[in-house]
Structure 1
Amino acid sequence: MKPALLWLCLIAGTMLLSACAARPVVVAGAPVTAALPSDVAAEPERYRGAEVIWGGMILAVENRETQTEVTVLAYPLDTAQRPVPAAGTRGRFIIVLPGYVERHDYPDGLFVTLNGRLAGTRAGQVGAHDYVFPLVEAAHVHRWPPGFQFDRSQWHFGVGIGVRIR
Structure 2
Amino acid sequence: MHSFLKTSIVALAMLVGGCVIVPEQIKVSDEESLISFESIINGSKTGQGEKARWGGEIVSVENKKEYSEIEILQYPSNQYGKPRANLDSAGRFKVRVSGFIDPLVFEKGRLITFLGELGDPAEGIIGEQAYIYPVLLANGYYMWKETEEYQVSGFYYSQLSPYWGMGLSRNYWRPYGFYQNRSVIRVQKNRSKSGTTGSKNRVSSGRSNSSENKVIEQSK
Question: Which band: TM-score by shorter chain?
Answer: 0.7 to 0.9
Alignment-derived partner of residue 57 in structure 2: 57
* CA deviation string 1:25-57 (max 9, x = no partner): 211366211342xx4255497211111111000
CA distance, structure 2, for counterparts of residue 90 and residue 19 of structure 1: 27
TM-score norm. by structure 1 comes to: 0.73
Alignment-derived partner of residue 32 in structure 1: 34
Contact kept? 1:45, 1:120, Cα under 8 Å: no
Alignment-derived partner of residue 160 in structure 1: none
The Cα shift of 1:67 comes to: 1.2
Aligned-residue Cα RMSD (Å) equals: 2.9
- Where do 1:92-103 residues align within 5 Å? 92-103=92-103
CA distance, structure 2, for counterparts of residue 67 and residue 44 of structure 1: 29
TM-score norm. by structure 2 comes to: 0.56
SS in 1 for 2:40: helix
Question: Match of 1:34, as an amino acid?
Answer: S
The structure with the largest helix share of the pair is 1
CA distance, structure 2, for counterparts of residue 20 and residue 147 of structure 1: 25
CA distance, structure 2, for counterparts of residue 32 and residue 54 of structure 1: 9
SS in 1 for 2:134: strand
SS in 2 for 1:84: coil
CA distance, structure 1, for counterparts of residue 45 and residue 36 of structure 2: 15
* CA deviation string 1:36-81 (max 9, x = no partner): 2xx4255497211111111000000000012110000000001111
Contact kept? 2:69, 2:95, Cα under 8 Å: yes
Q: Kindly tell me: are residues 113 and 148 of structure 1, through their superposed partners in 2, closer, same or farther at Cα, counting changes over 3 Å?
A: farther
Asked if 1:105 corresponds to 2:105, the answer is yes
Q: Kindly tell me: are residues 120 and 22 of structure 1, through their superposed partners in 2, closer, same or farther at Cα, counting changes over 3 Å?
A: same
Return the match for 1:21 from 10, 19, 22. Answer: 19
Kindly tell me the number of residue pairs found equivalent between the two proteins.
141
CA distance, structure 2, for counterparts of residue 18 and residue 42 of structure 1: 34
Question: Match of 1:74, as an amino acid?
Answer: Q
The Cα shift of 1:20 comes to: 9.1
Q: Kindly tell me: are residues 123 and 96 of structure 1, through their superposed partners in 2, closer, same or farther at Cα, counting changes over 3 Å?
A: same
User: What runs of 5+ residues in structure 2 fail to find an aligned partner?
Assistant: 1-7, 150-185, 189-215
Q: Kindly tell me: are residues 80 and 51 of structure 1, through their superposed partners in 2, closer, same or farther at Cα, counting changes over 3 Å?
A: same
Contact kept? 1:82, 1:113, Cα under 8 Å: yes
Alignment-derived partner of residue 66 in structure 2: 66
- Where do 1:150-165 residues align within 5 Å? 150=186, 153=217
User: What runs of 5+ residues in structure 1 fail to find an aligned partner?
Assistant: 1-9, 157-166
Question: Match of 2:34, as an amino acid?
Answer: V
Alignment-derived partner of residue 116 in structure 1: 116
Question: Match of 2:106, as an amino acid?
Answer: Y
* CA deviation string 1:116-158 (max 9, x = no partner): 10001111111111110011001111001221784565689xx
Larger Rg: 2
Contact kept? 2:62, 2:70, Cα under 8 Å: yes
